[in-house]
Amino acid sequence: MSMQNNEPAAAGRNPMPPFEHRTALIYGSGRNIGREIAREFARRGARVAVADIDLAAANETVRLIAEAGGDATALQCDVMSNESVRETAAEAERRIGAIDILMNNAGILHSGNPEDFPMAEWERMISCNLLAMVRSIEFFMPKMIARGSGYIVNTASFAGLYPYAINRIPYAVSKAGVLSLTENLAIYLLPKGVRVSCLCPGPVMTDSPNSMKTFSGNVGLVGPGSHLRIKSQVETAKILADGMCAGRIVIPTHEEGLETLRQHAASPDEFIRAKIEAFSRGDHGKPSL
Ligand SMILES: NC(=O)c1ccc[n+]([C@@H]2O[C@H](COP(=O)([O-])OP(=O)(O)OC[C@H]3O[C@@H](n4cnc5c(N)ncnc54)[C@H](O)[C@@H]3O)[C@@H](O)[C@H]2O)c1
């Protein structure tokens, strides 16, 4: 069933429940945060298409949803390929109907010093973390505009909110791009009845660092702030779904991180100098458990 446009022009403020009887396609929902989001959307009544490069992982997400009484289908997709994203989008529509909620969650991580990333790695990072979203949005946005309804959700990161991620700069740049893409789309699409949200995870417990490519030996990952607590994937999925129900646009997993964002906005120069000083005294902003 397609989402009806019964929202006022100031769309996004209306806390209408976006899940029951809705369809959702989630790119990158085979495991970890994406899997928990798929489970949470399904728990709240959505029919979910689980798309991932790892079909076995996507099938496992579907199994978990079915076990809990939900409705889901698995699709294999490489978000780095224009064709694959389009084929997956069309196949998802065939299987579950017009897509109400498009979520772009697929993302890759890496580590290294800035001088050690080859151009090919910059291209891989931007293609997977940012252009992948453009690929799916290009497919669905005209349809959503024509219907005057729909919901686009993109996953960014605290690394794209303010500067600290000096040992994964291509990743941070890709996520800053996601934030800019999503916020600008929100301004454009909300008055047209299409809702937009950006999930901004701070530190969330996943095993993704185990599989990341490293380019400078073991440099270790600096974090967004030692005052932040590592959250669980389940908490993250609930924060997103609640934020969507509340009509939020930018949905950070850690509200306390917004104070850091305010400090950066107040004086980027001072913020950067303070960060240099903190790193030099060994405060690497590692979050706590
Ligand atoms: N874990 C964190 O602390 C954290 C923090 C900030 C942002 N994020 C972001 O949240 C999202 C999920 O993070 P996660 O930790 O669960 O990551 P993850 O690596 O565990 O999961 C990412 C999913 O995307 C899939 N994927 C990777 N490349 C793909 C491709 N080319 N095509 C299709 N699917 C592909 C993977 O198979 C996996 O299922 C990512 O966008 C990540 O950047 C995570």
Average pLDDT on 192-205 reads 97
Average pLDDT on 57-78 reads 98
Which ligand 1 atom is the nearest neighbour of the CA of 201? 6
According to the model, what pLDDT value does residue 221 have?
79
Mean pLDDT computed over every residue of the chain: 94
**Cα of 289 from ligand 1 centre, angstroms:** 20
Q: Determine what percent of the chain is predicted with pLDDT higher than 90.
A: 89
Band of the pLDDT at 18, cuts 50, 70, 90?
confident
**Cα of 138 from ligand 1 centre, angstroms:** 21
Band of the pLDDT at 122, cuts 50, 70, 90?
very high
CB 182 within 8 A of CB 194: no
pLDDT tens digits for 164-195? Answer: 999 999 999 999 999 999 999 999 999 999 99
Average pLDDT on 117-130 reads 98
Residue whose CB lies within 8 A of the most ligand 1 atoms, among 109, 174, 181, 213, for a mutation test: 109
CB 75 within 8 A of CB 87: no
According to the model, what pLDDT value does residue 17 have?
61
According to the model, what pLDDT value does residue 198 have?
98
Band of the pLDDT at 247, cuts 50, 70, 90?
very high
**Domains of the chain in sequence order:** 9-280 (3.40.50.720)
According to the model, what pLDDT value does residue 4 have?
44
Cα 49 from Cα 263, distance rounded (Å):
40
Average pLDDT on 254-262 reads 93
State yes or no: is 171 an active-site residue.
Answer: yes
Is residue 34 predicted with pLDDT exceeding 90? yes
pLDDT tens digits for 203-234? Answer: 999 999 899 999 998 787 799 999 999 999 99
pLDDT tens digits for 142-154? Answer: 999 999 999 999 9
According to the model, what pLDDT value does residue 186 have?
98
**Cα of 263 from ligand 1 centre, angstroms:** 28
**Cα of 105 from ligand 1 centre, angstroms:** 6
Residue whose CB lies within 8 A of the most ligand 1 atoms, among 25, 64, 108, 231, for a mutation test: 108
Q: Determine what percent of the chain is predicted with pLDDT higher than 70.
A: 94
Is residue 10 predicted with pLDDT exceeding 80? no
Average pLDDT on 61-74 reads 98
Residues with CB under 6 A from ligand 1: 28, 30-34, 52-54, 57, 77-80, 105-108, 128, 155, 157, 201, 203-204, 206, 208
